[in-house]
Amino acid sequence: MTMDRSAHSRLAVTYRRISSLNQVDNNSMCAQEQAIKDYAKKNHLKIVEAFHDLAKSGTSVQNRTGYQQMMEYLEKHPEVTCVLLHHLDRLHRNVRNQLNDIYTLKCKGIAVITTDGLNSMDEDCMSEILDEAASAEKYSRRLSKETMKGLRVNAEQMLHNGGLPPYGYTVGSDKKLYIDEAKAPAVRKMFEMYAAGMSYKQIAQWLDDNGFTTVKGGKFKSTSIKTILENEKYCGTYFWNKRASKDFRGMRNSHQQKEDYYQVHGAIEPIVSEELFDKVQERLHDNKNRIRSYNGKNYYPLNGKVFCGKCGKKLSGHVQYSRTSKNNAPVKQYRFSCSCPAVKTVNEKYLDDMVINGLRACIFSPENYEELVDKLNAYGKIQERVIDLQIEVLRSDKENAEKRCSNLMDIAENGDGTKSIIDKIKRLDKRIAKIDRRISDYEAAKKVFTAEDIDRIRDRFTEYVMENRNEDVLGFLEDTVDRIEVDDTVRVHLKKNICVDRETKKGFRQERSIKK
């Protein structure tokens, strides 16, 4: 129902907008505000509320908080009869949106008025309003084309095309991307952990535990981690203009991508290898349909690798509560999703013990000890470089904290030591002590492996793999176990690079003596 606004015909709201913070011409915020105030004073209009949007495009209403707040305000305040603008293009640079708003507001008795005399309630102005709306959209489209030309020139030279650089990179004076060695270890770890089967939550926890934060200093979330994992710049591929174009409404779906966009392989120094990047993309693609290695709080190490030997369908982790044992104790099982076998489940402990103890025998055979020691120490050297970079970051944080603490102590010694300053000094002291502890922990993590260490790892191997859901375990199982087929017998197929002796091979093929 249209409200009666005739009794309050002198109340107005204002709206201002600039497309860029660099605008300093006649459309700058101050110029718009002054022109609107002068017009309101001259025409006896009372401004009751002002709305604005900074650095927002007029081609759509997305992300224009000020515009949306104004429209909501007009719905709640029927006494307002006009919207004051400096020029019509401040409201929209899209003909469809412009005319829709003018018509909608006109039906409610609200006039759209500009400081150069256009009034949507005046029929004599409508032809000029149509011309202004069309000119505004034409200008926007022409400007967009010219901007795209400049961006394309930058892209052809593999230059950074504005905005924040990807996490782990910095922009040099030549506008090219260079690796930020303080943040790059975090990026590598994200890719390694995800490729090993870890969840976003576990990756975010590791980043938080190791002092890595986002560019804005916040904690990493699942969305920010996923964005990093999907960015092909990390494997050295430069790309531009990847997102789908805006639709007829001026809106864009950021999840849609063009099939053919500008890209150059090997144009950027990579943080991760193409092999690791491709492995992560494969997991991202399959993640929705993949059976997870856990079900709620229950962990199933071999989930996703156990198949029916007859039809090939996957078995999934399941908890069965025993009717015969005391306290109705839960029994973890792998359950068939098909109708092939007569018995629908396989005892999880039986299957896991068989596979993991077999792998233990393969890996820790005496002839492998020397190679294991060499590989562990080679891996340890890589981790040492990561640790050194993390220590460097911590020492820089410590230095900054010590400087702040010293400055505050100088203030306190001069007799200006208020309680808030004393509290800040105490907090900084605690922070410095915490950084020292973390540096000591990192230094202690450096290690040279020996055959005795291999013995200790072997002794704990089965228990560790069975009970721990972390990147090491999931990565190990991904790299070693190909698939397990279960019907009347259990057949374990390992990856081609795993050598199996005759005795162990017998253990990898057993009759299903334990059914449940």
Residue type, 214: T
Query: Angle CA(295)–CA(299)–CA(301) in degrees, nearest 5?
Result: 115
- Check residue 301 and give its pLDDT: 77
Residues 36 and 85 sit within 8 Å (Cβ to Cβ) = yes
Alpha helix (H) residue ranges in 243-368: 274-286, 348-363
Given a cut of 80, whether residue 258 has pLDDT beyond it is no
Given a cut of 60, whether residue 87 has pLDDT beyond it is yes
Least confident interval from 270-284, 302-316, 499-513: 499-513
- Check residue 474 and give its pLDDT: 75
Residues 285 and 243 sit within 8 Å (Cβ to Cβ) = no
Average pLDDT of the residues in 132-153:
69
How confident is residue 80, by pLDDT bands cut at 50, 70 and 90? very high
Given a cut of 90, whether residue 288 has pLDDT beyond it is no
Distance (Å, rounded) from C-alpha 385 to C-alpha 271? 14
Residue type, 111: A
- Check residue 84 and give its pLDDT: 96
Q: How many CA atoms lie within 13 A of 175 on its CB side?
A: 12
Given a cut of 50, whether residue 118 has pLDDT beyond it is yes
Average pLDDT of the residues in 72-91:
93
Enumerate the β-bridge partners of residue 321.
330
Given a cut of 90, whether residue 159 has pLDDT beyond it is no
- Check residue 6 and give its pLDDT: 44
Distance (Å, rounded) from C-alpha 498 to C-alpha 192? 21
Distance (Å, rounded) from C-alpha 349 to C-alpha 188? 34
Residue 147: CB partners within 8 Å, gap ≥ 6?
none
What is each CA distance from 350 to 34, 298, 346, in whole angstroms?
80, 16, 8
In order of their start, the domains of the chain are: 6-141 (3.40.50.1390), 169-286 (3.90.1750.20), 291-516 (no CATH)
SS3 170: strand
Cβ-based neighbour number of residue 102 at 10 Å = 23
- Tens digits of residue pLDDT in 460-488: 888 888 877 666 777 778 878 888 888 88
Least confident interval from 13-17, 18-22, 230-234, 424-428: 18-22
Query: Angle CA(234)–CA(235)–CA(238) in degrees, nearest 5?
Result: 75
Distance (Å, rounded) from C-alpha 444 to C-alpha 457? 18
- Check residue 241 and give its pLDDT: 52
- Tens digits of residue pLDDT in 57-67: 888 887 899 99
Average pLDDT of the residues in 190-207:
85
- Check residue 488 and give its pLDDT: 81
350-355 — which CB contacts under 8 Å span 24+ positions?
A: 350/514, 351/302, 351/306, 351/484, 351/486, 351/490, 352/301, 352/302, 352/466, 353/462, 353/466, 354/490, 354/492, 354/507, 354/508, 354/510, 355/302, 355/481, 355/484, 355/492, 355/508
Residue 217: CB partners within 8 Å, gap ≥ 6?
none
- Check residue 77 and give its pLDDT: 93
Least confident interval from 9-13, 23-27, 131-135: 23-27
N-to-C CA span, the chain:
69
Alpha helix (H) residue ranges in 164-298: 184-195, 200-209, 222-230, 274-286
Average pLDDT of the residues in 122-127:
88
- Check residue 295 and give its pLDDT: 46
Given a cut of 90, whether residue 68 has pLDDT beyond it is yes
What mean pLDDT value characterizes the chain?
Answer: 79
Average pLDDT of the residues in 169-195:
88
Residue 448: CB partners within 8 Å, gap ≥ 6?
377, 380
Distance (Å, rounded) from C-alpha 494 to C-alpha 511? 18
Q: Check residues 463 and 497 and name the one with the higher pLDDT.
A: 463
Given a cut of 80, whether residue 294 has pLDDT beyond it is no
Please give the full DSSP string across 370-410, using - where no structure is assigned.
HHHHHHHHHHHHHHHHHHHHHHHHHHHHHHHHHHHHHHHHH
Tell me the backbone φ, ψ of residue 163, rounded to 5 degrees.
80, 180
SS3 120: coil
Distance (Å, rounded) from C-alpha 70 to C-alpha 17? 12
Within the chain, what is the greatest distance between any pair of CA atoms?
A: 99
- Check residue 486 and give its pLDDT: 87
How confident is residue 324, by pLDDT bands cut at 50, 70 and 90? low
CA-wise closest residue to 93 among 62, 136, 131, 132: 136
- Check residue 475 and give its pLDDT: 74
Distance, C-alpha 174 to centroid of its chain: 28
- Please give the share of the chain, as a percent, with pLDDT higher than 90: 16
Given a cut of 50, whether residue 516 has pLDDT beyond it is no
- Check residue 229 and give its pLDDT: 93
- Tens digits of residue pLDDT in 386-440: 778 778 877 887 888 888 888 888 877 776 667 778 888 888 898 899 889 888 8
- H or E segment and range at residue 47: strand 46-53
- Check residue 349 and give its pLDDT: 82
